[in-house]
Amino acid sequence: MFQKEQQLIEDKIKEFCQANDIALAELKWQSIPFAGEWGFSTSFFQTAANEAKRGKGAQVPVPQKAQEIAKQVRGQIGSVEGIGHIEAVKGYLNVYFKTSDYARRVVDETLASGADFGRGAPKAETVMVEYAQPNTHHSFHIGHARNTILGESLARLVEFAGFKTIRASYPGDLGLGVITVMWIYDKFYKGQEPEGVHERGQWLLKLYAEATAMLEKKENETPEETAKREGYEAERREMYRKWDAGDPSVRELWKTTRDWSLEELRDILAMLDVNIDVWFYESEVDEPSKSIVDELIQKGIAEDERADGGPVIVKIDEKLGLAKEKYRTAVVLRNDGTSLYLTKDLALAKVKFEQYHVDRSIYVVDFRQSLHFQQAFKILEMWGFPQAEKCYHLSYGYVTLPEGAMSARRGRVALFKEVYAEAARRVLAVEAEKSGNIPAGEREKIASQIGLGALVYSMLSVDNNKDIVFNIDEALSFDGRTGPYIQNAHVRANSILKKSNVTSQTSDVGRSTFDYDLTKQEIELIEQMSQFPQKVQQAAEEYRPLVMAAYAYELANAFHSFYHAVPVLQTGDENVKTARLRLVAAAKQVIANALRLLDIQAPDVM
RNA sequence: GCCCCCGUAGCUCAAUGGACAGAGCAACUGCCUUCUAAGCAGGAGGUUGUGGGUUCGAAUCCCGCCGGGGGCGCCA
């Protein structure tokens, strides 16, 4: 936001150092950690170290030398438009803005840009973010929710940072797990169908758990039990074979049950305000992936061991001549000719780049699949796929329950839908006592916004590579560093504006000059607001919604402090009141923008 | 055996080469006849798992060790 001044000073520093034969290191600008005044700073430690290496002032310790240089530089800069004063402290050069100018610029720019405040300049690249890849014939649990929330927030960040963005979902609609559910349904539950989208979806999960129990080898099985289990297993394999061969009745059963799951998935994505642009399905890349395997065999990359009862494999390490195992050997086709997860990802990459013309492809998938993606991307490279290096696996930690890993087979899962309902229930209980003024009809909607805000924030305020132990009381907490805390700041800002008959949309409350003595709370708030654009870029570049989540809290925190300490409507001075109203409108806007990037709703009342 | 991730306050997490390692929760002290107390203000809490190394400077980078988790030929 203040590149012009920064550039000007940078030029002056360079000029000075050149004239005085000082080996200036690259200038890294950062904000000054102390609150109270705005500015930016740079240090001269590296430059001082450079000088020491050249034998100049070798006796002087680096920090002291850095301070000397900072002092000299400071003396040379003179006055710069918009800059109040400049200090040399502890080896740093601190450049301070004129308070009233800075405040006015931040507030004016925020109100002028509105929902676009912080948006990055358009960039030429198109980025595809693939997330929301639950398996069908299961139900959507809290682990899928983390994946979806992370992917959605990332997509919003990348898009807002200026990239053309395509959101892709890739449900796993085939494989042994899917067939397992179909097998038990066909054998024991044929014709049954629970009422309700979610009931039906969740029922399939129960069938899966039941089927797995039947098919699992038990200790101390009687010969009869073993025979029965082996019979079931043969039936399941046979069904898979029939699916693969395109048997009409099996395909029909598959289509029906698959739709049940997909309906549930679409409903959940709507709750999360996720709008997928492109739907890929494993079943659609199944056939194309097999021809890729043929090609791999022809090119001598893959080895076909099917004649000896083996699968088709790629000995990646061996082909690359690696001494240590790294990529290992990957199976790309079963001995019965059916494809695998890995096989399908080869075909999917091709579709993404060739059909959708993306420049970069991000796969949001938990860290346990790291080897899978390393293998997939490496095989693509060996195959001669030029965009292999543009594929990036965004790995994140997985979600477990306090009692251990979630397990669909054991029926030990925290279903998203149930957590969501519980969240809304808890908010409603709080609303009953605190929000008497909200009409009953509106309360429910707000309750789900706040409840979801808590849940979403708890997922995004942990860095990607950290596992989450899902504790419902912590995830749905409304106090402290939480989603509702940030939403509440938005609500309070709105409350002031409402009482003054000003909204952020009609921000026309007259011009303001901020030429009075600003309180430290106002200064801190404006400081936070001004950082939003760079936080957007950082979060998008690092693929880390956490950066935005942490920022949103800091911003809300600054607003709450301001709200408490600084009167707005009660201010006597009209000029001050006008300026503060504009500040509140601007702050509300930035909070809303930040929440939007986190896929959290910003209600006006709560 | 090989590879990946994690280890920071009692607990959950920030800080990714720079200024005194910061928040929240829990516990403690104050603040609602004043724009919503889902809030604010304050004190307390640390040998950043451990031993070396690189650097003017390391929670951060490199090597070793310890502890926890995950992955490693026909699951997804």
Which residue approaches B32 most closely, CA to C1'? A564
Asked if residue A322 has pLDDT above 50, the reply is yes
Q: Is the domain of A202 the same as that of A143?
A: yes
- Identify whether residues A455 and A338 lie together within a single domain: no
Chain A residues 168-207 with Cβ under 7 Å of strand B are: 172, 175-177
Domain boundary among A374, A400, A426: A400
Q: Are A182 and A250 in contact (CB under 8 A)?
A: yes
pLDDT of residue A35: 58
Instruction: Give residue numbers, 219 to 248 of A, with CB < 7 Å from strand B.
Output: none
User: In the prediction, which pLDDT does A513 show?
Assistant: 80
User: What's the rounded mean pLDDT across residues A477-502?
Assistant: 92
pLDDT at A324 over 90: no
Mean pLDDT of all residues in A34-43: 78
Do A307 and A362 have their domain in common?
A: yes
Is residue A204, in this structure, part of any structural domain at all?
yes
- Give the nearest nucleotide to A90, CA to C1': B19
- Asked if the model's pLDDT at residue A52 lies above 90, the reply is no
CATH number at residue A462: 1.10.730.10
Question: Does the residue A16 lie in any domain?
Answer: yes
β-strands A312-315, A329-333: how paired?
antiparallel
Give me the pLDDT at residue A3, please. Answer: 73
| CATH number of domain containing A8 | 3.30.1360.70
Domain with residue A312: its CATH number is 3.40.50.620
Q: What is the DSSP string of A217-256?
A: --TT--HHHHHHHHHHHHHHHHHHHHHHHT-HHHHHHHHH
A58-67 tens-digit pLDDT: 567 888 889 9
Say whether both A134 and A60 belong to one domain. Answer: no
A143 and A88 in a single domain? The answer is: no
Query: Any residues with CB less than 8 A from the CB of A259 and at least 6 apart, and which?
Result: none
The answer to whether the C-beta of A33 is closer than 7 A to strand B is: yes
Q: For residue range A97-136, what is the model confidence (pLDDT) as tens digits?
A: 888 888 999 999 999 999 999 999 999 999 999 999 999 9
What ipTM was assigned to the predicted interfaces of this complex? 0.96
pLDDT digits (tens, 9 = 90+) for A218-269: 878 899 999 999 999 999 999 999 998 999 999 999 999 999 999 999 999 9
pLDDT for residue A496: 94
Domain for residue A467, yes or no?
A: yes
How many helices (H) and strands (E) chain A has is answered by: 20, 14
Q: What is the mean pLDDT of residues A343-368?
A: 96
Segment A385-421, tens digit of pLDDT: 999 999 999 999 999 998 888 887 777 899 999 999 9
Res. A436: pLDDT tops 50: yes
Q: What's the pLDDT at A502?
A: 66
Same domain, A475 and A535: yes
Provide CB contacts within 8 A for A383, sequence distance 6+.
Answer: A292, A295, A296, A299, A301, A346
Query: Average pLDDT of chain A?
Result: 91
- Per-residue pLDDT averaged across A130-155, rounded? 95
Provide the CA A591 to C1' B46 distance, Å, integer.
Answer: 33
Residue range A187-198, pLDDT digits in tens: 999 999 999 999
Residue A167's nearest CA partner among A128, A118, A114 is: A128
- Residue A42 pLDDT greater than 70, yes or no: yes
CA distance A320 to A316: 6
**Judgement on whether residues A394 and A459 belong to the same structural domain of the protein:** no
Q: Verify that A213 and A311 share a domain, yes or no.
A: yes
* Domain containing residue A75: 3-97
pLDDT at A57: 58
> Distance in angstroms, CA of A563 to C1' of B36?
11
Contact flag, residue A561 CB and nucleic strand B, below 7 A: yes
**What is the CA A430 to C1' B28 distance in angstroms?**
26
Answer whether A349's CB lies under 8 Å from A387's CB: yes
> How much of chain A exceeds pLDDT 90, in percent?
71
A577, part of any domain: yes
Total-model pTM: 0.94
pLDDT recorded at residue A364: 97
pLDDT at A171 over 70: yes
* pLDDT score of A548 more than 70: yes
- With beta carbons less than 8 A apart as the criterion, state whether A578 and A497 touch: no
- Closest nucleotide (CA of A135 to C1')? B76
Residue A22 domain flag: yes
**A87 and A141 housed in the same domain:** no
| pLDDT tens digit sequence for A278-317 | 999 999 999 999 999 999 999 999 999 999 999 999 999 9
A289 shares a domain with A142? yes
pLDDT tier at A78, thresholds 50, 70, 90: confident
**Residues A159, A35 share a domain:** no
Regarding whether A87 and A134 lie in a shared domain, the answer is no
What is the tally of structural domains in chain A? 3
- pLDDT recorded at residue A510: 61
Q: Which residues contact A13 (CB under 8 A, 6 or more apart)?
A: A24, A27, A42, A73, A77, A93
Report, in ranges, which bases of strand B sit under 7 Å from a protein C-beta. Answer: 1-6, 12-16, 18-20, 23-26, 34-41, 55-57, 69-76
Tokens 């950062």 sit on residue: A30
- C-alpha to C-alpha distance for A380 and A315, rounded to whole angstroms: 14
On whether residue A277 sits in a domain, the answer given is yes
A242 within domain boundaries? yes
> Taking 50 as the threshold, does the pLDDT of residue A506 lie above it?
no
Identify the residues numbered 83 to 102 in chain A whose C-beta atom is closer than 7 Å to any atom of strand B.
Answer: 89-92, 94
Question: Is A147 part of a structural domain of the chain?
Answer: yes
Residue A38 has pLDDT above 60, yes or no: yes
